Amino acid sequence: GAVVSQHPSWVICKSGTSVKIECRSLDFQATTMFWYRQFPKQSLMLMATSNEGSKATYEQGVEKDKFLINHASLTLSTLTVTSAHPEDSSFYICSARRLADEQFFGPGTRLTVL
Amino acid sequence: GENVEQHPSTLSVQEGDSAVIKCTYSDSASNYFPWYKQELGKRPQLIIDIRSNVGEKKDQRIAVTLNKTAKHFSLHITETQPEDSAVYFCAASGLGNEKLTFGTGTRLTIIP
């Protein structure tokens, strides 16, 4: 149990285009999902907290108009990187909160912006 | 907000020996402390966690200790094996605060 999937696993796009990443909890309902960004050899940095049916809460310094988050159902949250630039290249990981405080992570999406 | 410090950043241990990774946190309201193992290019995987009403928790070769007074917690891995080589992250979150604040990570290398 507690499986989280993420799609796509990797994506390469041109500068200026938008990329959508999906995060799904496959065998449980997640009222809260989280989006993280991880640069090489660094820790996970929380970008935003996503609650089903409400607006996401963004961390300080994260542009909400650039990183659009939608949490349409209890099993799906999406992150759209709008007008991507090379500095947005990173490993994006989602997590879903099941019971109490436990968070389970998706496999991550490696984004490369050319 | 919460701040989590983790030491050491790198750790090399002879196979069969024990490894200890330490974390300190700043928010006394934090009450949930998970540890994650992340292999290169993979997702972080929860390996053990502890809540503030418990001082120690053990799962086979892995144990976590918590000192609430000092606001620090530690991961102990005994009888280390090559497959224990990975990056380990500690994290903390508080009551009613769903966010996890992560430490900076420890790259553990087990020397055969």
* Per-residue three-class SS string for chain A: CCCEEEECCEEEECCCCCEEEEEEECCCCCCEEEEEEECCCCCCEEEEEEECCCCCEECCCCCCCCEEEEEEECCEEEEEECCCCHHHCEEEEEEEECCCCCEEECCCEEEEEC
Q: How far apart are CA A107 and CA B111, in angstroms?
A: 27
For chain A, the residue count is: 114
Work out the pLDDT band at B52, boundaries 50, 70, 90.
confident
Check A46 against B49: CB less than 8 A apart.
no
Do B43 and A32 lie within an 8 Å CB cutoff?
no
Please give the structure tokens belonging to residue B105.
């990570």
Contact B99 A93 (CB under 8 A): no
Tell me what pLDDT residue B97 has. 60
Contact A43 B89 (CB under 8 A): yes
Q: A109: left (phi > 0), else alpha (psi -120 to 50), else beta?
A: beta
Q: Do B89 and A108 touch (CB under 8 A)?
A: no
Half-sphere exposure of A96 (CA within 13 A, CB side): 28
Pick from B108, B111, B96: nearest CA to B36: B108
The pLDDT of B12-37, averaged and rounded, is: 96
Among all residues of chain A, which has the CA nearest to that of B99? A49
d(CA A83, CA B84): 40
Task: Considering only the beta carbons, identify the residue of A43, A44, A97 that sits closest to B98.
Answer: A97
CA of A109 vs chain B CAs: smallest distance (Å): 10
Per-residue pLDDT tens digits for A48-89: 999 888 889 999 999 999 999 998 888 999 999 999 999 999
- Mean of the pLDDT values across residues B66-74? 95
The amino acid present at A22, given as its one-letter code, is E
Q: Looking at residues A105-113, what average pLDDT do you find? A: 96
Q: What is the pLDDT of residues A76-85, one digit of tens each?
A: 999 999 999 9
Judge contact between A30 and A94, C-beta under 8 A.
Answer: no
pLDDT over 70 percentage in chain A: 96
